[in-house]
A and B are shown apart, each in its own frame.
Chain A
C-alpha cells in the first residue's frame, strides 16, 4: 500500500451539494418509523401503516386481466417478432401509436370534452421529468413560478433543483376551502416584484395534490385570465385527472381553451402521467401537452434526456388503444376510488375528524387543527409525531406541502387493502377516544433523521 496522500477536495457542482433536492426535510423521517416497523396483516399487525404514499393499487386486477386476454401486448408477439424494430426505436417523437393512444386516453378521461392532437404530445420518463423539462423551457435561472399552496413536496426538487428557478407560493387557506383566489394570485405576483424576480408562469395541479379536490371552472377561468393579463405561462399538472371520482366534476384547462377557440392557448401546457391513474409509476410514463409549437419542438428535443423505454411504449400503445379496455378501466377505477374515499371519510367522521370535501385523487386532506397544542408548525409536527408513534400511521404533515395553515394532514387511502384501511380507521378512532378522555400523552420524541433511511425512501416521493 502506498503513502496516503491528502487530496484537496475537488468540488462538485453547486447543484450537487445544495439541499434543493429537498430530501433532508422532516417529511422523510416518517419513513424511518415505517421502515423499522412495517405493518403486515399477519406477521406484524401492530406495525406502522404507510399512508404517506400516493399510489393507486385499487385497479391492478383490471390491467392484469387485460394482459391475460391480450397476448399480442405481451413481449413483442410470439417468437419475439417486431423485437428488433422496437429495440432500435429511439426517435424522440415517440411511437406514433403510443402518442395517439395517450391523446385518446386523455380525451376519454375528459369525457371527450377536449380534443388532443397526438402531434402535440411530448413523451418524458415520468411527470417528474416533464415538470422539470417545462421549467427549463419556460424560465431562466433566478426567475420564478407561482405555485398554489399546499403543493406536492416533490415540486421543490422538480421545478427548482437543476433549473435554478424559484417557487413563489400562492397562499391558499381553509377560509374558502383552499381555493386559489384572484387576490392570492396578485399577492404572489407582487411578492415576486418586490424581490425583483421575474415571474414566468403559474403552475397548478388539477385535481390538487394534496387537497384531493378538483379546481372549479370559474377559478380556472380566472387563472387563465390572470396569466394572459400578465403575459406569462400556465402549466396545469393533471396527473390525477383520471382519479376524479366523477368524470363530470373534473374540468380540464383544455376544455376551457377549446371553448375559447384556443385564444391565448399558446401559453398553456398540460402535464400528464400514467403513474397515478393507471398505477404504473415504475414504467416512467410522462407527457407534456403544449399548445405552443415552439414549446412542443423544444420539449421534444429536450426529451432526449428522458425518453420512455420503447418496450414500455409498445406495451401501453396496445393497451391504451383498446377503447373497450380504457373506457371500462376509467369508469371502474373512478368508482373504486370513490368508494375508498367514502369509506375513509365516513370512518374519520365517526372518529370526530373532518376533512376537506374532496372529489379526486388517492388521498384526503384531513383537518386536525382542533387537536393542536399550539396553532403553529411545531404544534403540527408534535401532533404528527404522536400519530406516527402512538397511532402508528405514517401520514404527511401539511407543512411538508408548504401549507401556511397548520394542522392539516394528507392521508393516502389507495395504496393498501380495504382491511388495512379498516385497521387504520380503528386506530384513529381509538386515538381520538383516548384524547377525549384526556389520557396523558407520550412525550415528544425527537425525530432522528437517518440519512440512509431518508436516502432509501425519498425516492418514493409521491
Chain B
C-alpha cells in the first residue's frame, strides 16, 4: 500500500527538519550489527554489539522475584482480582504505591542518604519523555540549556526537537579528565549572553554518559552555586545512579542541596528511569522529580502524554516496596557491574589501551587517540570504520557524543554475557597486536606506536550522510526482538 507522498510542505517544520537526529553517524554501526549479529554458536564471527547501553547483568534476580510473587501480575490467578481496578486506573498522579516504591528505590540507590517525597514524583514515557517534559516546563522555543560535552547523542532530539529549545555544549576534554569546571560554565554562559541567547538552565548527567564517572562533591557544589548565582535551572539526569560500582562513591544532587542553605530548591529537578539501573527499558518508566511545586503541578498535567502503563505500575509497586529485594538487588547489581568493568578494562590494559578511570555506568570511555592516523574527526571516523568492519565490534565514536577531542570511544560491556566479553576483549587484543607489528611509515610517532594503517576503500564516505539510518531503538532483525 505504498502511496506516493505529497511534497513535504504539507507537514510541519518539526516533521521535516531532521532534528529527530537519526541521520547521525552514531546509528550507522547498528546497520553493520544488524546485517551480521554476533552469536556464540550460530555466528561467532559476527559483529558484537557494544554500542547499546543496556544492563543485562541482573535479570535472574528480577525473574526470581516475579516467580515468587505471582500476585504482582494482574493476569495470574493470584493477581486477577486486581485486574479491573488496575485496568481502569488512568489517574496522572500514578498509583500511590508505585510512587512510594520509586521514592524508596531512589533513596536506597543513594545509600539512604536522602529521602524522596513521593508526591513530587511524576511519570513520563521513559527518561526520553522525562527530559522532554522538563524542557517543556522550563524552556520556551529558542531558549537554551548548557550541557557538558561529551553527552548522550539523543539529547538534541529529546530536549530540542519538539520543544524548539537549543543546546549549548560546554566542551570538556582529557586535560582534566573531562571534569566540568566553573570557568567553562561561565565562559559558555557569557558567550550565550553575547549571542543574545536566553539560557534557562544547565543539564548534567550524573553518573555521566558516556564517561562512566560520577561528579565529585566540589564539582556538584560549584555547579549548584553557578546556577543559583545566575538564577537558572539545574536538571540532573541521574538515570545511571544505581550503576555505581560502589554506592558510597555516588553523591546525588539531592544530597548536595540538603546541606546548601542558600540554594533555591525550586531550581533543582531530577530526571530518572528504571531503564538502566534495573534493565527494564521496555517498561518505559520515566520519572521527573522536582523540588518546585509549579513544575510538579504543571508537569503532572503534561505527564498525560506519557503515563506509565498501570499494569507496569502495579507490578513495580510491589517489587520496589520489597525492601529485602531492593537492597539485595542494588548490592548485587553494583558488584556484578564492578566485576564486569574490571574484567574488561584489565583486558584492554594488557595491550596498552587505557580507559578513562570510571566508577559507574554500563560502559567505558576508551582512549584510542594514539591509534589515530590524524588527530581529527576524520581520523576518528576512519578508525571507527575499521573497528566496525574489521574488528567487528560496534562501538560508539566520541564524535557522536559531541566530543571535540578525537580518539575516544564509548564501549558498552553490560549488555552481553561473560563469554562474549572475552571474545570482544580478545578481538581488541588481536587487533592492537596486529597493528603494532605493522611497520610504521611517516613522521608521526606518538607514544605507544599503535599507528593504524588502513586502506582507503574502508572509509565509507556515505557513513556521514546515509539517509536510511536505523535508530538505536530499531531492531527489526535484532535477536532482542525474540518476542515477535
Contact = CB atoms under 8 A, between A and B. Distances in A.
Given A267-B10, A293-B2, A304-B473, A57 B84 contact: yes
Given A301-B471, A311-B315, A7 B264 contact: yes
B3 A312 contact: no
A84 interface: yes
A459 B310 CA distance: 14
Given A13-B139, A88-B282, A97-B484, A311 B312 contact: yes
A87 B282 contact: yes
Contact of A125 (B132, B284, B476): B284
A295 B12 CA distance: 10
Contact of A128 (B89, B267, B304, B475): B304
Contacts of B125: 125, 129, 304-307
A315 to B, nearest CB: 6
A120 B3 contact: no
Interface string B451-484: 0000000000000000000010111101011111
A281 interface: yes
A368 interface: no
A125 B3 contact: no
B83 A132 contact: no
B129 A267 contact: no
A371 interface: no
Interface string B1-44: 11111101011111100001010000000000000000000000
Contacts, number: 302
Interface in B253-299: 261-262, 264, 266-267, 275, 279-284, 292, 294-295, 297-299
Instruction: Sort chain A's interface into a size bin.
Output: 35 or more
A298 B11 contact: yes
B181 interface: no
A95 B307 contact: no
B440 to A, nearest CB: 43
Contacts of B73: 74-75
Contacts of B84: 57, 60, 64
A315 B89 CA distance: 17
B6 A89 contact: no
Given A16-B137, A79-B67, A90 B282 contact: yes
A421 B228 CA distance: 57
B311 A459 contact: no
Contacts of B299: 16
B187 to A, nearest CB: 22
B482 A82 contact: yes
Contacts of A462: 90
A275 interface: yes
A267 B311 CA distance: 35
B90 A460 contact: yes
Contact of B298 (A12, A82, A265, A291): A12
Given A275-B90, A309-B283, A5 B262 contact: yes
B63 interface: yes
A423 interface: no
B301 A23 contact: yes
Contacts of A295: 11, 15
Interface in A81-140: 82-93, 95-97, 117, 120, 125-126, 128-129, 132, 136-140
A15 interface: yes
B482 A85 contact: yes
Nearest to B81: A64
B3 A293 contact: yes
Contacts of A304: 125-126, 128, 157, 471, 473
B5 A294 contact: yes
Given A84-B56, A125-B125, A305 B305 contact: yes
Contacts of B12: 136-140, 143, 200
A310 interface: yes
Q: Which of B80, B83, B483 has the most CB of A within 10 A?
A: B483
B77 interface: yes
A307 B126 contact: yes
Nearest to B476: A93
Nearest to A10: B231
B309 A63 contact: no
B309 A284 contact: yes
Contacts of A459: 90-93, 301, 304
A128 to B, nearest CB: 5
A307 B284 contact: yes
Interface residues of B, number: 100
B140 interface: yes
A282 B301 contact: no
B188 interface: no
B1 A125 contact: no
B87 A282 contact: yes
Nearest to B314: A282
Nearest to A64: B83
B86 interface: yes
A421 to B, nearest CB: 18
A88 B276 CA distance: 10
Contacts of A281: 87-90
Contact of A14 (B20, B63, B140, B162): B140
A10 B230 CA distance: 10
A115 to B, nearest CB: 8
A91 B56 CA distance: 16
Contacts of B315: 311
Contacts of B474: 91-93
A138 B309 contact: no
Contact of B88 (A55, A76, A294): A55
A383 B342 CA distance: 73
Contacts of A15: 136-137, 140
Contacts of A3: 262
A187 interface: no
Contacts of B381: none
Given A13-B137, A89-B483, A305-B125, A125 B66 contact: no
23 contacts: A8-B231, A13-B200, A16-B299, A68-B80, A74-B73, A74-B76, A83-B63, A83-B66, A84-B56, A87-B280, A88-B279, A93-B476, A125-B309, A129-B125, A129-B304, A139-B12, A283-B87, A284-B90, A284-B307, A294-B5, A301-B20, A308-B284, A310-B483
Cβ-closest 6 pairs across A and B: A282-B310, A310-B282, A74-B75, A2-B261, A309-B309, A459-B92
Interface of A: 1-3, 5, 7-8, 10, 12-17, 21, 23, 55, 57, 60, 63-64, 67-68, 71, 73-76, 79-80, 82-93, 95-97, 117, 120, 125-126, 128-129, 132, 136-141, 143, 157, 161-162, 200, 231, 233, 262, 265-267, 275, 279-284, 291-295, 298, 301-302, 304-312, 314-315, 455-456, 458-462
Given A89-B480, A90-B126, A283-B309, 9 more contacts: A84-B56, A86-B483, A87-B283, A97-B484, A129-B304, A143-B12, A282-B309, A284-B309, A304-B473
